[in-house]
Each structure stands twice: as structure tokens, then as C-alpha cells.
Amino acid sequence: MALITRDIPTRERLIHALDVPDPDAARATVETLGDSCWFYKIGLELFMAGGYFDLLDWLVAQDKRVFVDLKFFDVPATVGSAVRQLQGRGATFATVHGNDAIIEAAVENRGDTGILAVTVLTSLDEGDMRDLGFQADPRAVVLSRARRALALDCDGLVSSGLEVEQIREETGEKMIVVCPGIRPVVNREEDDQKRTVDVEEAFRFGADYIVVGRPIRNADDPARAAAEVQTRIEALFSS
């Protein structure tokens, strides 16, 4: 399908996952990457390390965009209260994982933060889904959750690139789609991400943003690795 040409600065379509042990390591990574990355995902590891909101505030002060990836999942009242804590912080996105009532509570309390519904983690395949009690393949579950998120006025979804094309066929361009589990090279490294695509595949399938973690973090020159991904994105959207 055609690229989704939403009004997003090209340099912000790459989100780097700051999966590092503590805020000091996160700040060092941001400084190392410099102008090669303008959007960062901060998740559970950093949340448990302490200083999460200080880091969020610091990133915003550096003119970076921030994706709060805490996958809020609890009773609806608690999720609503948790999401409300982000109001005024400058976070661009936050993730929620759950049923309709949980998603609805997050949406009602989102303020200026876009709510992204998690569909199926990219680390899960069909066997994992069966272990969790789902008698359906991941694609069917993703599409079901996408329809629900759209009906609940969610801002977007987190989905493997493998399902994005079908999501777009069913929901059009109404929701933002963020694709994690990106492996920039065909010879993808062996890790816990089972349902992956590369940079060009994700955007051609209909992604708005991609999340790249280890291929940048573990590179010999992380800034160069991020810049190379940016070059590939720029080439796609300028052609």
C-alpha cells in the first residue's frame, strides 16, 4: 500500500527505545545520539530505576518527544488516575493494555497525551498465544483489538508491522500506528522479538512510527546506526 503521509516530521518517525538500567545511562545515550534521534521511548526498566518523571522532563527540555511505554493495565479507575498523572508533562504517547473499560478510562483522562492501545506484543507468536488461552492467531487478535480501539476513540495502536497492512485495510488512516520490533537488516539478530519487519517494510505496510532499540543501542557506533535508519526513512518519504 502507499505510505501514510501524515504531517509528521520525518526525523521524528524513528523512536529509539531507551531500554537502559537507569536515568544516567538514558541521558548519556541521548547525548551520544545527538541530532540522529528526536523521539524516545521510556519503559518499565527505567520506571523501576527511579527518577522516571525527572527523565521525562529532561527529555522534553531537550526538545525531544517522549513515548511513555508503561502498558497501563489495572482496574479502569486506577488506569484513569495513572494516565491523569501525565497531563501537562509533555509526553506525546502513552500505552494502555486491556479491555474496553480500561482503554476507555485511559482515553477519558489522556489530556494532551495520545493513547496507544497495545495489540499483541511482538515477542509473542501463535504458540505463545495458545499458552495464554487465546484460540486465535496473533493477526486475528490484533485486528479485533484495532477495531475496538478505533470504536473507543483511541489515538492509535502499537502493532507488529506484520499486521499493519490489514489494520489499514480495516480502519483506514484514522489511527496512528507505531511498530516496534524493527530489525533494520535482513539478517535479523536472534532475540526475543519473534514478529519483526525491517524499516522499509514497516512504513510500506502503513506504519507512522517505528521503534528501534537493540540495533541502535548495540551498534559499534549508535549515532551512526540511528543516522542510517533516518537516511532510509528520509529516502522513503522524499521519493
List domains and CATH numbers for the chain: 10-238 (3.20.20.70)
**3-state class percentages of the chain: helix first, strand second, coil last, to nearest 5:** 45, 15, 40
Side chain identity at residue 11, one-letter code: R
Side chain identity at residue 72, one-letter code: F
Write out pLDDT tens, residues 131-174: 555 555 667 777 888 899 999 999 999 988 888 988 899 889 99
Write out pLDDT tens, residues 56-86: 999 999 999 999 999 999 999 999 999 999 9
* Cα–Cα dist 113/72, whole Å: 14
Output the CA–CA distances (angstroms, integers) from residue 99 to 34, 167, 179, 212, in the order listed: 38, 18, 21, 27
Mean pLDDT confidence for 164-192: 78
* Cα–Cα dist 160/118, whole Å: 10
> Cell digits for 222?
549508535
Catalytic residues: 71
What's the whole-model pTM score? 0.89
Neighbouring residues of 30: CB distance < 8 A, sequence distance ≥ 6: 18, 37, 40, 59, 62, 64
CA nearest neighbour of 148 among 106, 100, 114, 207: 100
Write out pLDDT tens, residues 15-44: 999 999 999 999 999 999 999 999 999 999
CA nearest neighbour of 83 among 98, 75, 95: 95
